[in-house]
Amino acid sequence: MNNEQSPAPSATLSVGDDFGESLRDNMTLLGDMLGRTIADDLGEKFVERIEHIRADAKAARDAGEAGRKALARNLHDLSEDELLPVTRAFNQFLNLANIAEQHHRAHVRHVEDYRPGTQPYMDSLLSRILEKGIPAERILDTLSTMQVDLVLTAHPTEVVRRTLIKKYDMIDQCLGQLEACQEEPERRARLTERLEELIRQAWHTDEIRRERPTPVDEARGGFAVIENSLWRALPDFYRDLDRQLLTTIGERLPLTASPIRFASWMGGDRDGNPNVTAKVTHEVLRQGRLMAASLYMDDLRSLRSQLSMWKANADILAETGEVNEPYRAILDKLMVRMQATCEALSAELNGDAYVTREKLVLTRADLQEPLMRCHASLCECGMASIANGALLDTLRRVACFGMTLSRLDIRQDSERHTEVMAELVQTLWNEDYADWDEERRQEFLIRELGSRRPLIPRHWECSADTREVLDTFETIAHEPREALGSYVISMAGQPSDVLTVALLMKEAGGAYLPIAPLFETLADLDRSGKVVDRLLDIPAYRALIHGRQEVMIGYSDSAKDAGQLAAAWAQYRAQETLVSICNARNVHLTLFHGRGGTVGRGGGPVHAAILSQPPGSVNGSLRVTEQGEMIRFKFGQPEVAIRNMEIYAISVLEASLLPPPAPRPEWREEMDRLAEQAHRVYVHVVRETPGFVPYFRTVTPETALGQLPLGSRPARRQKQGGGVETLRAIPWIFAWTQTRLMLPAWLGSDAAFSERIETPEGLARLQEMMTQWPFFGTYLDLLEMLLSKADPSITADYEQHLLPDPELRLLGESLRERLAVLRGALLTITGQKTLLEHAPLIKQAIDVRNPYIDPLHRLQAELLQRQRVANGDIPVSLRRALMVTMAGIAAGLRNTG
């Protein structure tokens, strides 16, 4: 009997009663549908088995050791054939829970977690700024010139396939449509059938990619977020902003202004990724232009159908003559050019020849100029309401997305540039550039920057690696400036690293691209001020930058290098120093924050993070990375995207006009002491404890991560040994998150805080800093969120399965004891009895997911054990089940990398 004819099974998946009514109802609805879907596929008894496991997991949290043993027995009794469907069931529910929660957050405009009463909104901020005596003209000028670049990056731990993401998006849309037709039973019935169909589609779709995505695939994923969500969300965001500005200060945002813009690393980030080549970069740029041209073509068709008016000003009539519908005449010409642009880009991507007499639409100005003339004419002729309708929406898109959708950044490791110079110097002068000290390198590079003669021979037969670097600079030179963002230099440590890139740009003959040195390690952060200070003393360099300097602050590698607390303080100090140096030279500084989703990588609520930066560091400009899963969570749905864009605009405006206070001298002394002790403990454990690396490799799924076809970039850096230092920061944190120890984000803080709270003076100082210094208060909030997700009992289960060595078990026990000490210290500092008393939504989200995450943890430990006993030779179904456990845990904990 087919599904349509069979009665609905009674077995369902329970979600508990922790959430609010609408959210709980949606989670129950999705869970019931998933339960029926699984029952139809595998039988009601199987769903009952799933529910028993979930109930055991919930009981295990209440009954302690006895409950955990019952859960372990239930999972151990699963047959080999049951392991994969069980992991899939829990993984699928967690993804549906995420959809329901995202939908709820969009509805209540609560996309980030704050203390009660502290949600940021633009209208209240504008009123507060005016109350502080700041004139309306300054507010408008700040917003009009503000540059907030959200830089979309590929993510090596983004686990959900694009195929499933599309289905999840449609599920979200169905939920919204269901809520909007409460009084229409027939339509609700149709939508309910469609919703269940989509859930069945998701269940019968493989969660795991068979092959790794290419860099072009990743770029297409970024473009898809713009096409499917941001393209619609952006005009609505600006309509809301215009409405608030008109109400508060009586002005709209200028037509050419776009405080929020988007950039991308997808197809441009070649740091440690041999798959990103000059050819790939060229293709990604063309793909972005083609999608932009196609989207604008749809806009122009829509505008043509609407702008049928006959009144026009002299400017428009001078071009069109006395025609009945002058705006349509303008749009007809523009559409012919846009169609030719689409055809030309398609031909280029296909390797075909294309010849046209039409002038292609290649730049923002090519599209913006005729549309602005139409807007001006409509306003002059008394049709401002029409001008500020769909036409204004398109102009807002043009101001933000240009003709490329997003500007592409280029990133490369400084060592690759040094290798080019070494090969060149060896070829030309038979000298070893590697032996030159920093002063000699700078002298050489400055001299060549000022020279009119070419340095690189025209037909130089260099190595393949050097040729690839030079080809990248050739690609940059031949692209329109507005298609590209910044050139980011990873592991920048000296002025010569920046000067080398400037010289290679000169040799390629292209326009100057802003060069952003990325300071990542603790030593590089501490040295960043000296590097920029020296660069700004060089006349040839100052002539290139036109009074603007960009610097990227690395969160991931600095935390991996030094521990989270020491890294956070080093990042803060580095920003202070850079602001002071640039202000003294009248150079506008833009700081680029390489944040990730986790606390260990600078993650957390945006508003709190931006307002906790040093005063003056956010001065009308900011760049920040948004990575993989966080792109989907923040921008994958239009309503959520609108709210997140608003939060970024609010935060940068507030930090620019109402900057936070500078820390008191005694707070600096306290942070120096805390950071020094935390760093010492972190280094001792991670780098000096003999059993630490074997413990990490054995107890976490780090070695199995390579089997998961996640991103295009390798998980390990090349040309290094096999230690922890070869791991990239993202998989390093991802592996610890899977075992719920979350070590990178807290290790060292345990010793630093527990010692200070032992004295009344120390505790009072920490509490004073928590309440009066945004930087420290935000740090503690993020630490609290992280500790609420950490679970030493889960970690102990991994150890029991995977650690035969008693010495390594003792190490694991000591780490879990450290975590318990930190939890107690944090509760003492915050004055709370339990974690997250002030953030009930986060706590509820964690509590409702735990019964579905816990079985995945224990199944993962079991599967890892089987894999290692079999030396990796396990059935395909079990290998797939292991990968699904990683995906499910990541989905349940959300900010995993």
Catalytic residue numbers read 155, 560
Are 176 and 103 in contact by the 8 Å Cβ rule? The answer is yes
Beta-carbon contacts of residue 95 (< 8 Å; ≥ 6 apart): 160, 164, 168, 202, 891
Q: How far apart are the C-alpha atoms of 178 and 33, rounded to whole Å? A: 15
Half-sphere exposure of 128 (CA within 13 A, CB side): 12
Query: What one-character-per-residue DSSP string does 734-776 give?
Result: HHHHHTT--GGGTTTHHHHHHHHTTSHHHHHHHHHHHHH-HHH
Are 224 and 162 in contact by the 8 Å Cβ rule? The answer is yes
Contacts 24+ apart (CB under 8 A), 426-429: 427/457, 427/460, 427/462, 428/457
What Rg value do the Cα atoms of the chain yield, rounded?
Answer: 28
Q: How far is CA 552 from CA 221, 566, 573, 605, in A?
A: 24, 18, 14, 20
β-strands 588-594, 548-554: how paired?
A: parallel
Are 226 and 405 in contact by the 8 Å Cβ rule? The answer is yes
Beta-carbon contacts of residue 237 (< 8 Å; ≥ 6 apart): 260, 641, 642, 645, 646
Angle at 780 between CA 774 and CA 785, to 5 degrees: 125
Q: How far apart are the C-alpha atoms of 131 and 128, rounded to whole Å? A: 5
Angle at 676 between CA 671 and CA 677, to 5 degrees: 105
Query: What one-character-per-residue DSSP string does 809-864 give?
Result: HHHHHHHHHHHHHHHHHHHHHHT-SSTTTT-HHHHHHHHHHHHHHHHHHHHHHHHH
Are 574 and 528 in contact by the 8 Å Cβ rule? The answer is yes
CA dihedral (60, 62, 64, 70) positive or negative: negative
Half-sphere exposure of 190 (CA within 13 A, CB side): 5
Are 320 and 255 in contact by the 8 Å Cβ rule? The answer is no
Phi, psi values for residue 709, rounded to 5° = -75, 75
Q: How far apart are the C-alpha atoms of 724 and 774, rounded to whole Å? A: 33
Q: Which two tokens stand for residue 576?
A: 């202070």
* Bridge partners (DSSP) listed for residue 260: 148
Beta-carbon contacts of residue 805 (< 8 Å; ≥ 6 apart): 691, 694, 698
Are 735 and 886 in contact by the 8 Å Cβ rule? The answer is no
Which residue carries 């989907």 as its tokens? 632
Q: Where are the alpha helices (DSSP H) in 204-325?
A: 215-225, 231-249, 278-306, 314-320
β-strands 515-519, 484-490: how paired?
A: parallel
| H helix or E strand, kind and range, residue 147 | strand 147-153
Q: How far apart are the C-alpha atoms of 825 and 816, rounded to whole Å? A: 14
Which residue carries 């953030």 as its tokens? 839
CA dihedral 13, 18, 24, 29 (to 10 degrees): 0
Q: How far apart are the C-alpha atoms of 15 and 851, rounded to whole Å? A: 9
Q: How far is CA 583 from CA 327, 541, 891, in A?
A: 48, 17, 44
CA distance between the termini of the chain = 45
Are 383 and 311 in contact by the 8 Å Cβ rule? The answer is yes
